Structures are given as structure tokens and as C-alpha cells.
Amino acid sequence: MQSHPFLLTNELLFKSFMIGAQNVILEKNQLNSINVFPVPDGDTGSNLASMMSSILERSKLGKTSEETVQSIADAAIVGARGNSGIIFAQYIIGFSQGIQTDTVDTDTFIQSAEQAASFAYQSISKPVEGTMITVMRTWAVAMKQFKHATSSFIELLGKAFESAKEELARTPEKLAVLKENKVVDAGAKGFVHFIEGFIKALKGEEIDLSVHQNEVVSELHVDHLEDSQYRYCTEALLRGKHFNLEALRTRLETLGDSLVVAGSDQTVRIHIHTDHPDQVFAYLSETGRISEQKVDDMKRQFEAANHRKYPIALVTDSIADLPESMVDQYQIHMFPINLIINDTNYYDKVTIQSSRFYDMMDSLEVYPTSAQPNPKSLENFFSFLTTYYQKVVVLTVSEKMSGTFQAFKEAALKFKDVADIRVINSKQNSGAEGLLVMKAAQLIESGASLDEVEQKILSLTGKSKILVSVKTLKYMVRSGRVSKVTGIIGKLMNLKPIISIDETGQGIIFEKSLSLKSSNHKIEKHIREVVSQHGIENFAIVHANAPERAKEYADLYEQIIGKKPDYVMDISTIVAMNAGIGTVAIAYIRGDQS
């Protein structure tokens, strides 16, 4: 049979990509439910949907096919998330570089698909067969094979599509973890769904995104994590000039596995599994400008997908100071707050630790600032979480201190038809917020309903307090928490104020002292009064690189309150930025006795 003449117009090419993207988004939850490789963290569907959403939102129909596909490739690399999402984005970049004309004929399409598969392979540090790259290659090879055996372009794509589906069905034969769990590769299945949508567009069909996409499907129950000893799925979008992708890949290989480096010499998307996201970002910040980043806790994702302890998901922000052991015990989802240092965005407690920040604080010309969560990041976060939970309670830092509460509220509204999400303003921060999160976790563990958890925590916000003994006003002046005039006066008078939060959630100077000894005495007096009048149910000691002062507080208040603190810990980087080195605080929840 003779090869058929065919010209894929600019408009039809654009529409085919859009319908292909929509078809993947439609299958998000189903793809999440079969995700076992490289780790069973249940987010392949969410990651692919994120990239496809970026294509739908950012790409433009250009004047030529070359302009259009380049726009799609740019949107893909910016929106790429996860191992499969970044590989897929690199596939599209490879495809785009094969399109250099206004219209696309059959030969150009096939050559572009071959180049796309090659680009996808090259982006991966250690390619593994039985995954999406295998199906990508099979799709291109099949088109070349059937080129002269079909009479139309749609027939050609249809036959190649059948080959891709057959290769997808064979993925368990090539990857033991797939065979063990009796599933096909989730990323490869996502690629097949894209091709399916692409062909539908050529046939004049549309996609209805309202159908099935929000249903929670049956899921796997994987006993343990496979193939990776690392905890954090770490990603970055790096911008600059003259990037050497191979050099980036060589250096990053020493920090983890599942490495994918995709993009161009000016824009690079990086994916790596590591235990040290802070080290990854310390290196990348020296290499280019980090314009976006994402760090997912694969341990928590794995638990959400396979081993949920409770029917209610508990979420908080990183300003809540709570020990990692307790966060793990109760499967708490901690969303990191953004910290901007030298024009680079970092994630509190994840891509920068307090220990590194302390070393930087006194040498920074421009003092760091915090920023509320990125709306798209929150949307991706809830997209994943609501795949596995229909009930979610979020406890945030005081609304008067941060836009975090409002950001969570707005993001939650987008999922109101999927899950019941309650966003609570703790009216606290640091250790006091952490204690409230701990109480919420204990309530959920005891079997309390969503309504009961919400009502109890709301009642406890007014019984919670934190008293912060600040060693110097220098850091509060630099962070803008107090005016320079106040700082100068404080320095002249050698003020050692006690900082707290009022009943509305606003930060206040609780007491003024001329020495740390006086400050400590006033805090002690207040605690003794609370113990006498109400009793104290829970308390915690938090500090900023001041372990000796913290121990003194822990010992003293154990004697006064009659029990050990629930925990003693270093504070979050965000809180340290405002309070400064040497700070120590006691946070408590008072009792009801009169």
C-alpha cells in the first residue's frame, strides 16, 4: 500500500495536544491508584495532570506549527512535576525541535516522535525499561513500520496506538515491581491516554472533563517502599544561560537517585529523590536562578496511598513547631512556607534548615522575607490529598501574621465538591500552633469526627499562648517586626522584651524587661498564675539555637507544672528569622479548672 499524503494543520495540531492533555487529566485518580514505580507514592496521575493543566493554561496557538509546539513545550517544562511529568515534558521538547514548518506531514510527524523518544531517554540518569520511555519508543517505531501499510494518517496512528497499548500491557514483564502488584506502569499508561486523546481530536471528538475525574478508584495496598532509600521527591525549575545538562546530571547523581534533568541551555527542570533537599538547593542556587521548586515527602505520600491510619487528613504549615517524630507518628502533612533569601525561594524546614540559616543571618545584606504558599503548589497538594481522603482539617499560623490561612482557604474551595476540607486559623504560631496540631492529631486518633475536631480546636485557640524571651531586638528590626526607632530605643535601654500573641492572633509585646533574668522571672510569674488559676494541660519549649536556655526552661517548668514538656525543639527558620538567635519560648494550653 502506498504512503498517504497528509498535512496536519497548525490549528489541528494545537487542538490534538489540548485534547490529549485533557484525556490524561481525566484519568488522574486512576493513574495515582496504580503508581508503584519508582516508588509507590500515589502521585503519578497528579503530576501528569499538573503538567497537562499547564499546557492547557499556558500554551498558545501560534502563527505557525513551529511557534505553537514551542509554546506547548515551554508550558510543559514549566508545569512539569514528578518523574513521569518531567520525562513527558522532555518528550514534548524533543518533538517540538522536529517541527520547523507551518504544517506537518506524515514523515515530519514520525521523525519528531522518534526524536521525542530519544530526548526522553537522554533526560534520565538511569533509564529503566518497562516504563513510559519504552512505550514512547514503541509508538515511534510502530508509526515508521506501518507508514506504508496504511491509507490514511488516522489509520496509521490507530495501528501504532494498538502497538503502544500492547507494549503497555507488557510492562509488567520488564519490571518486577509491576508484575508483583499486577499493574502496568502508571507513567506509560498516562502516555497512552495522551495518544488516545490526540487521535480523538483528529477524529473530531471532544473530552468531557466533568466525567469520572474526581472519583476515588480502588487502590493498591503496597506493604513497603521499593527501589529507593530516599524520602523526598525534590524538583526545581532552574533559569539562566548556557546550562550544561550533563554536568548538572553528574553532580546531582551524588545526592540521590531517580534523577531526571530536562530542558534547554536556559531553562532546566530537575527531579531527584534525596534525603537532603537542602543540599540539592544549596548547589543549584550557585548554578542558576531557582524560579520554582517542589519537595514532596514520599513517606507521607506512600502512607496516604497505602497505609492511612485515620480517615481524616491533618495538615499544617511549617511554622507550627512540632518534632518530626510526632509528625510521622500521626501522619501529619506539613506544608512548607516560602522563605526568600538572596532572591532565591526556599522551603522552610525542607530546602533550608535552621542550622544553615543561623550561619547566614548576620552576613546577609538584604534580610530574608517570608511569602505565603504558591496557589498552584497548594492546588497540586490538595489534588493529591483528596485522591485518598474525603475529610481534611487544616490548621494554620495566625491569619494576622501571614497570608497562609487565606491561601489555604482559597485553594480548598476548588475541592469543595471532592472533599470536606476545614481550614482553621490557629491564632498562634511556633510552639503554640504546634501544640494545637498535636491536640488535633490526638483527637483524630481517638476517633473524633471532623466536626468534633474543628469545634475542639477552635475552643482551644483561646486557651493557648506562647511567651517568647527575645535576647536582642536586632533581628526583629531587620525583619520589620518592630520599627527601627523602637529598635534603637530598645538597644539604648538594653530591652529584652517578652513577645506574645493576643486573642485576635496579633503579635504583641507582652512585657518589657531590661535583662534576660528579669524577662525569665516575668514569664515564670505568669506561668505560676496560670497553673494556680487554670492548670496547664500541655506545654512545649522551643528555641533558636539556644539549647542551654531551653534546657533551663524545661527543667524549671517541669517543676512548676508537674510534668515534663511534651517536647523541646529548635524553631522553624521562619520564626527564627523574626525572633533571632538566642530566643527561647514556652508555649502552653491551659486547663479548665478555676
Show pLDDT as tens, one digit a residue, over the chain (594 residues).
445 556 789 999 999 999 999 999 999 989 998 988 888 777 899 899 999 999 999 999 999 999 999 999 999 998 898 899 999 999 999 999 999 877 789 999 999 999 999 999 999 999 999 999 999 999 999 999 999 888 889 999 999 999 999 999 999 999 999 999 999 999 999 999 999 999 999 999 887 766 544 444 444 445 555 445 799 999 999 999 899 999 999 999 999 999 999 998 899 999 999 999 999 998 998 899 888 888 889 899 889 988 999 999 999 999 999 999 999 999 999 999 888 887 777 888 888 877 777 777 767 777 777 788 888 889 989 988 998 999 999 999 999 988 999 999 999 999 999 999 999 999 999 999 999 999 999 999 999 999 999 999 999 999 999 999 988 666 666 555 554 444 444 454 467 888 899 999 988 888 888 788 999 999 999 999 999 999 999 999 999 989 999 999 999 999 999 999 999 999 888 787 877 888 999 999 999 865
Residue 241 CB neighbour total at 10 angstroms: 7
Please classify residue 347 by burial: count the beta carbons closer than 10 Å to its beta carbon, then call 0-12 exposed, 13-18 middle and 19+ buried.
buried
C-alpha torsion angle, residues 70, 75, 81, 85 (rounded to 10): -40
Q: Where would I find the H helices in 346-429?
A: 354-361, 375-388, 404-413
Cα(97)–Cα(99) distance, integer angstroms: 6
- Say if CB 490 and CB 514 are below 8 A apart: no
- Say if CB 492 and CB 515 are below 8 A apart: no
Please classify residue 35 by burial: count the beta carbons closer than 10 Å to its beta carbon, then call 0-12 exposed, 13-18 middle and 19+ buried.
buried
Cα dihedral sign for 182, 188, 191, 192?
negative
The 10s digit of each residue's pLDDT in 30-42 is: 999 898 888 877 7
The 10s digit of each residue's pLDDT in 330-382 is: 999 999 988 888 777 788 888 887 777 777 776 777 777 778 888 888 998 99
Q: What's the confidence (pLDDT) of residue 7?
A: 74
- Say if CB 401 and CB 575 are below 8 A apart: no
- Say if CB 324 and CB 578 are below 8 A apart: no
Crossing angle of helices 82-96/132-146, nearest 10°? 30
Q: Which three cell numbers stand for residue 438?
A: 498535636
- For cell 469520572, name the residue: 212
Q: Are strands 333-335 and 536-543 parallel, antiparallel or unpaired?
A: unpaired
Residue 28 CB neighbour total at 10 angstroms: 27
Cα(494)–Cα(345) distance, integer angstroms: 34
Judge: domain 7-202, CATH 1.20.1420.30: no
- For cell 514520525, name the residue: 110
Cα dihedral sign for 33, 37, 43, 46?
negative
Q: Edge-to-edge strands of the sheet including 584-590?
A: 507-511, 498-501, 464-469, 584-590, 536-543, 567-570
Judge: domain 297-461, CATH 2.40.50.140: no
Cα(508)–Cα(427) distance, integer angstroms: 13
- Say if CB 351 and CB 295 are below 8 A apart: yes
- Say if CB 240 and CB 86 are below 8 A apart: no
The 10s digit of each residue's pLDDT in 90-104 is: 999 999 999 987 778
Cα(202)–Cα(198) distance, integer angstroms: 7
- Residues across the chain: 594
- Say if CB 502 and CB 560 are below 8 A apart: no
- Say if CB 587 and CB 434 are below 8 A apart: yes
Q: Which three cell numbers stand for residue 344?
A: 532565591
The 10s digit of each residue's pLDDT in 105-160 is: 999 999 999 999 999 999 999 999 999 999 999 999 999 999 988 888 999 999 99
Q: Which three cell numbers stand for residue 274?
A: 534525596
* Greatest C-alpha distance within the chain: 94
Terminal Cα-to-Cα distance of the chain (whole angstroms): 93
Put residue 505 in one of left, alpha, beta given phi > 0 → left and psi -120 to 50 → alpha: left
Distances (CA, A) of 104 to 17, 66, 112, 158: 14, 9, 10, 18
Among 130, 126, 41, 135, CA closest to 88: 135
Domain with CATH 3.30.1180.10 in the chain: 464-590
Q: Where would I find the H helices in 479-572?
A: 484-493, 516-533, 547-561
- Say if CB 578 and CB 475 are below 8 A apart: yes
Model pTM?
A: 0.76
Phi and psi of 427, rounded to 5°? 60, 20
Q: Which three cell numbers stand for residue 367?
A: 534580610
- Say if CB 546 and CB 584 are below 8 A apart: yes
**Best CATH choice for the domain 464-590 from the list 3.40.50.800, 3.30.1180.10, 1.10.760.10, 3.30.70.2860:** 3.30.1180.10
Domain with CATH 1.25.40.340 in the chain: 7-202
Cα(443)–Cα(435) distance, integer angstroms: 12
- Say if CB 315 and CB 409 are below 8 A apart: no
